[in-house]
Structure 1
Amino acid sequence: MRIGIGNDHVAVEYKKVISEYITEKYGYEVVNYGTDSTERFNYPESGKKVAEAVASGKVDRGILICGTGVGIGIAANKVKGIRCVICSEPYSAKLSRQHNDTNVLSFGARVIGIELAKMIVDNWLVTEFEAGRHKVRVDMIGKIEQEI
């Protein structure tokens, strides 16, 4: 699996730790779409890049990290085909995959500790979409997106 990862200046260290964690634990390739500098960086840029990479199939899923995870996640959700969950605990990460087939995960480096971030990533990466009644709802979301 290929995971696109993006971040702003606040989350440089989190990106490094999470990228290494995913590579070591799962053997997945991590593609960097974020900044490696702690100088001011506009999070919508990397949010858009990761979302476009997921939507186009260049990567299988995406992970975004900024101060809160909110702004970068909102930016990603503007790209057609993206269902980004902004998450600060493992249970929602798991259910977002089971019920919503989320393809991008976002969290905040100023909101959660790195060990909690790893737990969220674990739950999100290993959980499969249940389809069934949930597929009907995900298809409804896609239809709304097409109407816009």
Structure 2
Amino acid sequence: MADADPSRNYTVTIVFFPAVTRKSNGWPSIPGHQFLIYRDPAGIVTYSHGWSFGDSLSIGGINNLSKTDHEKYTNRGGELKFSSITVSITKEQQDSMVKYGQEVAEGKHPEHSNEYHYSDNSCVTYSNMELAHGGRYRLFLKETV
């Protein structure tokens, strides 16, 4: 799939942090972390979505969808090593992806459980599902083959 029209210049950045990266609160993310950052045409962050144990550090619950990972995983003067990929998207794609995140946070999305699990409902799983809802990633899972 070709990138969306760059003249619209909405973007989504997929951010990858390696294992044991420490968040700004000092807590390590043992397996690492992946999350999404959305920007408008002016380059301003409009949304950030990531999936984890949440602030309660418990399995399940709507706080598992973090909207502040772009702040929690700050680069602190180049200390943190991470990788990222940024792609152009349309406003419609951004709206579709963000809507998916809002539905998950409200427990209204049947495709996504609120129970975080490293192996089958992790930050990677979540990010891929959100990207798929905007047409930026094709899922090769069960019914979608």
Larger RCO (CA within 8 A; separation ≥ 6): 2
Could you say whether these structures have the same fold, taking a TM-score greater than 0.5 normalized by the shorter chain as the test?
no
Higher helix fraction: Structure 1 or Structure 2? Answer: 1
**TM-score of the pair, normalised by structure 2:** 0.27
Bigger Rg, structure 1 or 2: 2
